[in-house]
Amino acid sequence: MPLRNTLFTLCLLSAVFLFPARSTAGEAQFISTIDGDSLVVEFEGRACEVRLIGIDAPEHGQEFGVQAKCHAMRLCYGRTLRLEFDRQRRDRYGRTLAYVYCNGKMINAEMVRAGLALAVPYKPNLRHREKLEQAEKAARAERRGFWLRGGLKQAPAEWRKLHGKG
């Protein structure tokens, strides 16, 4: 039995040192906003596009697109951000997928709570699905952002299809 325990311990230690766990979070410096659900940050020494997980904000040229981009800028400008990753770290376009935090607040949820983004679950990244859905319910109830007018004329995904952006 002692040999079996020793072999198990050696295998476990080898796995820890040879295959370190991927980081689930990291610090980033805000650079700019692309739109209400995409940022450019400096992360791990390079500029990186970050797509906010679980939300979809109006696009540039769409109603509330400018407001969404400006709100994201106000939340992040000049700040150090914390990126939290879920199961999938990159999307099909190569963008980093993250929940972004600033001063303890999740930017993804703040965009939805302001009525400037929809809560949209994207499998397999569902860790904060309920929090984002609750933020949307609150925005609707309080008639914030585009909910003041009952919502958007078109969801951002529909708008992108019609305007060749996705």
pLDDT at 10 over 70: no
SS3 at position 128: coil
Q: Is 95 a catalytic residue?
A: yes
Beta pairing class for 80-84 and 25-35: antiparallel
Instruction: Please tell me the CATH code under which domain 22-162 is placed.
Output: 2.40.50.90
pLDDT at 20 (0 to 100): 39
- If one counts every other C-beta atom within 10 angstroms of the C-beta of residue 143, the result is 12
Rounded distance between C-alpha atoms, residue 58 and residue 14, angstroms: 47
Residues in CB range of 45: below 8 A, 6 or more apart: none
> Of 51, 110, 113, 136, which is the active-site residue?
51
68, 48 Cβ separation under 8 angstroms? no
pLDDT tens digits along 21-63: 445 789 999 999 999 999 999 999 999 999 999 999 999 999 9
> Of 89, 95, 140, 160, which is the active-site residue?
95
pLDDT at 80 over 90: yes
pLDDT tens digits along 106-161: 999 999 999 999 999 999 999 999 999 999 999 999 999 999 999 999 999 999 99
* Domain coordinates in residue numbering, the chain: 22-162
SS3 at position 53: coil
pLDDT at 22 (0 to 100): 47
Q: Percent helix, strand and coil across the chain, each rounded to 5?
A: 35, 25, 35
| Residue that is written with structure tokens 């766990």 in the block | 21
> Of 59, 110, 113, 136, which is the active-site residue?
59
